[in-house]
Structure 1
């Protein structure tokens, strides 16, 4: 079993933390809740690169340092995330709204396997780095700069939303024969008491290396 799958449930426990703080602190309205993906952005079959989309050969492992998602205005540094003493995945510091984290004991983005990247939907001050993840559409580009000087370019294959009690671990974290990427934040239903009740996941695969 690869290291990403070993940490799957721990990751799910960690990424639930600090979801919807801004809305909880300031009062929620439909206008303020983060965008959610439509059914048209979901997979029509099992997760796989879109038909006709290029699939680039995986790279050697190298630490990611920055992520850009032009379609939704993301341009943020990246930080490694480990596991806490309770087995849950650490999350990026809540006070930094423009920071994404990657599971450093899993697959680095661009290498063969499934790379996991997470970002807060908001913090107590307002929208954070992945606030608009749910509005991402199939075919959008995700660019990740790496420590080795290369930029791994991914194409989004689908964007889906799941309730916390129905999160599909294998679908999201399962092994991949190519260089796959998952971007994760909070989403789904929302209550003022608990914040968001699920997660938005964007699936992507490596198409180009610069």
Structure 2
């Protein structure tokens, strides 16, 4: 896990070298720790195939609702970045920091000391826009329970509200959840292009390995209500 503050990047501004990465290249995303007080490492690792260069955004000409005004956007202007995520059914509310890619190609995550803050992956879609928007949060860190500790309690049909920097809200409805091995992370399913205005939440899940790291990821899938 990076101990520095995440670099702030907006979608579409990643260096060309990063955009050239293919799905065959594996990135390492630090997701959460095993238990409070865990020794050396703050978290387990998630093997994540490199997101495609379009950041999960579908071709606007082929979007099913491409004529609709983007959430938080203005005519002819860029959409506003997300600022907060709220999940009332499981008692989660968090501001959002921007997460991009580290210099070594790994996905940035919130530092352990900010375990109660989730992050938006800027290489994906802006929540409410066409494409896959991804929000990442810790389950636990060495400091204790973290922002997505109770995400496992979320149910199908639950509301997730994302508020942008302009104060505009986008409401998403949970369509499915799955716990997957970190060794077989569904990269295309999570990051791949989609015509939906989709949201994915990611944290750690499952039993612990010999090093005390969770072996699975919990992925929550939602679409704009």
TM over 0.5: yes
Which residue in the other structure is 1:69 paired with? 87
Would you say how many aligned residue pairs link Structure 1 and Structure 2? 175
Which residue in the other structure is 2:55 paired with? none
User: Aligned runs of 1:128-167 on 2, under 5 Å?
Assistant: 128-167=146-185
Which residue in the other structure is 2:38 paired with? 24
Deviation at 1:168, TM superposition (A): 1.1
- CA displacement, residues 130-160 of structure 1 (integer Å, 9 cap, x when unaligned): 0111221100010111012211110000110
- Runs (4 or more) in structure 1 with deviation over 6 Å come to 7-11
Q: TM-score, normalised by structure 1?
A: 0.75
- Is contact 1:83–1:90 with CA below 8 Å preserved after alignment? yes
Which residue in the other structure is 1:45 paired with? none
User: Which of 79, 96, 103 matches 1:78?
Assistant: 96
Which residue in the other structure is 1:14 paired with? 29
Deviation at 1:19, TM superposition (A): 2.7
Which residue in the other structure is 2:114 paired with? 96
User: Aligned runs of 1:112-131 on 2, under 5 Å?
Assistant: 112-131=130-149
- Is contact 2:112–2:143 with CA below 8 Å preserved after alignment? no
- CA displacement, residues 78-103 of structure 1 (integer Å, 9 cap, x when unaligned): 00011111100111121123201011
Name the structure with the higher helix share. Answer: 1
User: Which of 102, 106, 110 matches 2:128?
Assistant: 110
- Is contact 1:116–1:181 with CA below 8 Å preserved after alignment? yes
Deviation at 1:192, TM superposition (A): 5.3
Q: Higher relative contact order by CA 8 Å / sep ≥ 6: 1 or 2? A: 1
- Is contact 1:24–1:195 with CA below 8 Å preserved after alignment? no
Q: TM-score, normalised by structure 2?
A: 0.70
Which residue in the other structure is 2:194 paired with? 176
What do you get for the CA RMSD once the two structures are aligned? 2.6
